[in-house]
Chain A
Amino acid sequence: MRLDRGEVGGTGLALLLHAGLIAALTMSLAGVPPKPEPPAMEVEFVDSPEVALTAGAPTPLAPSPAQATAPAEPAEPTVPQPAPAPPPPIPSPAPRIEPTPAPRPTPAPRAAPPQPRPTPTPPRSTARPLDSLRLPPAPRASRLGDDFLQGIGDAPSRAPAQSAATFSAEAKASVDSAIKRQIQPCANRQPALGSGAERIRVVLNLRLDRSGRLSRPPTVVRTSGVDDDNDRYEQPVIDQAIAVYRACSPLRLPAELYSTPQGGWGNINMTYRVP
């Protein structure tokens, strides 16, 4: 098979065109991330935001600014604390309510407006004697109450709690990802449930001993995402979640995070989702 000059030229040209095509495909296709790949790679089944180290934390975790929804119950204990403080400066909440510059209101009309405000009544009743003494300076033009600094007073007291919370958030994240990584093989071995089961989230409470073993079977804290379509999968998903954590039970986790003042992985809530 001998080549004449025309064939050498034609084959060389063809070679160049192929090289150019491959180069162009490599450049352009490598630059654009292919659309179908990310869904194919998604195998995570544990939600990290809901993981919380709830165990015997003496002081409830102060909410970080990002999670404003959860901390309903931590807020309650902190509110009563500032309450005793206000009585001394509180004397003149009244001028804020009735801005008319009536210089010397009788105690009776002043007592009437505060009644609709339920919470501050006990402190104000204690401050009433002072109140009557200090009222003369009240008729100034400003509508700011004397207690406008009240909120500022407890802001610094909350700041240290926040820094502690961020530390425990990092620890939580590392513990969370370590647990996720270690139970993933067990979760992948579970049989697939029907469609709709993947919307169910099961929050399990795990009690672990220091060796990473479950000290008692996981208990269900709550389930979410159950609707009419997938309610028949609720129990299978719960069983599967418990089975996954039992199968991969000796979890290897950092020992120094077993129990900290903010909680630890000795008592931890994890959210499970069907892979």
Chain B
Amino acid sequence: MSAAAAPSDLMSPLALFLHADAVVKIVMIGLLLASVWTWGIIITHALRLRRLNRASDSFERDFAAAKDLDAFHASRGADPVPHARIVSAGLDEWRRSVRVKAADRSGARERLSTVMNAEVAGELDRLGDRLNILATVGSVAPFVGLFGTVWGIMRSFTAIAGANNTSLAVVAPGIAEALFATAIGLFAAIPAVIAYNRLTHGLDRLEARLGRFADRFHATLSRELELEG
């Protein structure tokens, strides 16, 4: 136990960690890693969503102003934007459909719609890949921290029984160390829950935006299809 520690460094996180029981230490390390991983995901995804929204703004603006669809696709089709991939998928399918004579227009429209919706879904899958980790950390980390706390308090009560001494000086350090596990659990879980809701909201908006763009592009292509025939 930490009875020998000077009271001045009792509250420092390192001291709390070093004096804790092995199980509590493992719980603390796990929760700290979860927190690092959570914040890594938060930073990565927040930056990526911002970048995508900005790139989408400029892409949509340029797309609306473009005169020639093929030339626009040749110059901007490789942009790292979901819109560009939707345009590529739609144009590929359109070219394949118009290559054959006596095209089935309604069938071609179905295929265009399916392909572009699949591209939107695939983009969202890629973007929302790690968000399940945030949800897991947000819901499980408090329980893991609570487990560490319960374990640490059990241990310090056992120590009290062994020491035949109920003074607060014997009990308090062990309980403080145990509670530190819950603190880390909450420290990891609270940002994870907030970020999960925030990022899910951002992805929903991006999905709606991509869906609108795909619908508009589908309308353009089906109009072209009619002119083609």
Interface of A toward B, CB cutoff 8 Å: 6-7, 9-15, 17-18, 22, 25-26, 29-31, 33-34, 37-38, 40-41, 43, 185, 188-189, 275
Take A18-B35, A26-B12 as given contacts and tell me if A7 and B7 are in contact as well, using a CB distance cutoff of 8 Å.
no
Measured CA separation A115–B41 after assembly (Å): 99
- Residue among B9, B11, B165 with most chain A CB within 10 A: B11
Is A10 a contact of B7 with CB atoms below 8 Å? no
Q: Name the CB-closest residue of A to B167.
A: A43
Query: CB-defined interface of B84-112 with A at 8 Å, one 1/0 digit per residue?
Result: 00000000000000000000000000000
Is B10 a contact of A11 with CB atoms below 8 Å? no
- What distance in Å separates the Cβ of B28 from its nearest Cβ neighbour in chain A? 11
Q: Name the CB-closest residue of A to B38.
A: A14
Chain B 1-52 residues near chain A, CB threshold 8 A? 7-15, 32, 35-45, 47-48
Partner of A18, one of B32, B47, B130, B166: B32
Is A41 a contact of B9 with CB atoms below 8 Å? no
Is A13 a contact of B40 with CB atoms below 8 Å? yes
- What distance in Å separates the Cβ of B224 from its nearest Cβ neighbour in chain A? 35
- What distance in Å separates the Cβ of B228 from its nearest Cβ neighbour in chain A? 39
- Residue among A12, A22, A37 with most chain B CB within 10 A: A37
- What distance in Å separates the Cβ of A83 from its nearest Cβ neighbour in chain B? 55
Is B167 a contact of A188 with CB atoms below 8 Å? yes
Q: Which residues of B contact A185 (CB under 8 A)?
A: 164-165
Measured CA separation A15–B166 after assembly (Å): 40
B172 at the interface (CB under 8 A from A): yes
If over half of A's interface residues share one DSSP class (helix, strand or loop), that class is named, otherwise mixed; here it is helix
Interface of B toward A, CB cutoff 8 Å: 7-15, 32, 35-45, 47-48, 130, 164-169, 172
Partner of A7, one of B8, B9, B41, B168: B41
Q: Which residues of A contact B14 (CB under 8 A)?
A: 22, 26
Is A7 a contact of B165 with CB atoms below 8 Å? no
Measured CA separation A31–B11 after assembly (Å): 10
Is B13 a contact of A41 with CB atoms below 8 Å? no
Measured CA separation A34–B8 after assembly (Å): 7
Q: Which residues of B contact A33 (CB under 8 A)?
A: 7-8
Closest 7 CB pairs of A and B: A11-B40, A10-B44, A14-B39, A10-B43, A30-B12, A14-B40, A37-B7
Measured CA separation A18–B130 after assembly (Å): 20
- What distance in Å separates the Cβ of A2 from its nearest Cβ neighbour in chain B? 10
Is A10 a contact of B40 with CB atoms below 8 Å? yes
Measured CA separation A43–B9 after assembly (Å): 20
Is B40 a contact of A29 with CB atoms below 8 Å? no
Given contacts A26-B14, A30-B15, A40-B168, 10 further A-B contacts (CB under 8 A): A10-B44, A10-B45, A11-B36, A12-B40, A13-B40, A14-B38, A14-B40, A34-B8, A43-B167, A185-B165
- What distance in Å separates the Cβ of B191 from its nearest Cβ neighbour in chain A? 10
Measured CA separation A37–B12 after assembly (Å): 13
Is A18 a contact of B165 with CB atoms below 8 Å? no
Is A14 a contact of B43 with CB atoms below 8 Å? yes
Is B9 a contact of A9 with CB atoms below 8 Å? no
Q: Name the CB-closest residue of B to A38.
A: B7
Q: Which residues of B contact A41 (CB under 8 A)?
A: 7, 169
